[in-house]
Amino acid sequence: MASREEKQTDIIKAAIRVFSEYGFDGAKMESIAKEAGIGKGTVYEYFESKERLFEEILKFSIEEFRLGLKESLEKGETIEERLQKCSRYNAEFLSSHMDIVQIVMQVSTLSKEIRVQLFAEHIAILKQYTEMVKAAKLNGEIRADLDEELATYCIAGSLDLFSKQRVFMNPQPLNEIDHKAIVDVVLRGLK
């Protein structure tokens, strides 16, 4: 028998599929229940409303991203390898979660609670980049006088926008995205 947490995750995954097919407004709790193989009442035992379920999808997705990013950072030996792995992971995650991005674009308001939680996850993601920067400074891979906070923002912003551009704006096959090029610009600058 599935644990409460496993059942909740199953409902979230079913909701992602239903929201991506019908959009936020067109998705019905009955459809989500059917997709999850449970009764509508069971969905309401876990989530009080469609809006609350959507917020849980966001939390679930950003946490999944953070954990995957952490794993990517741990795989590289040098800052250059780590950044390339992060860039690749970012593009792969966006590509495999396009449905969630489309849903987010449809919903205009989020509760204060979910905004606070999403912000906390965002800070945790930035902290992962900052730890990488600190380690690279200690290893002599980057300048010792580099502002760690500024470097973190430049890295996170560059990799994020690069991946979004390659996945959404100018779609390219994932295996053709030149992650080495963006990492070269991040590490070596424009001059």
Residue 43 contacts residue 29 (beta carbons within 8 Å): yes
pTM for the whole structure: 0.84
Residue 46 contacts residue 8 (beta carbons within 8 Å): yes
Domains and CATH numbers, the chain: 1-47 (1.10.10.60), 57-188 (1.10.357.10)
Print pLDDT tens along the chain (191 aa).
678 888 899 999 999 889 888 878 888 999 999 999 999 999 999 999 998 898 888 888 889 999 999 999 999 899 999 999 999 999 999 988 887 776 766 666 677 888 888 889 999 999 999 999 999 999 999 999 999 999 999 999 999 999 989 988 888 899 999 999 999 999 998 87
Give the three-state DSSP class for 171.
coil
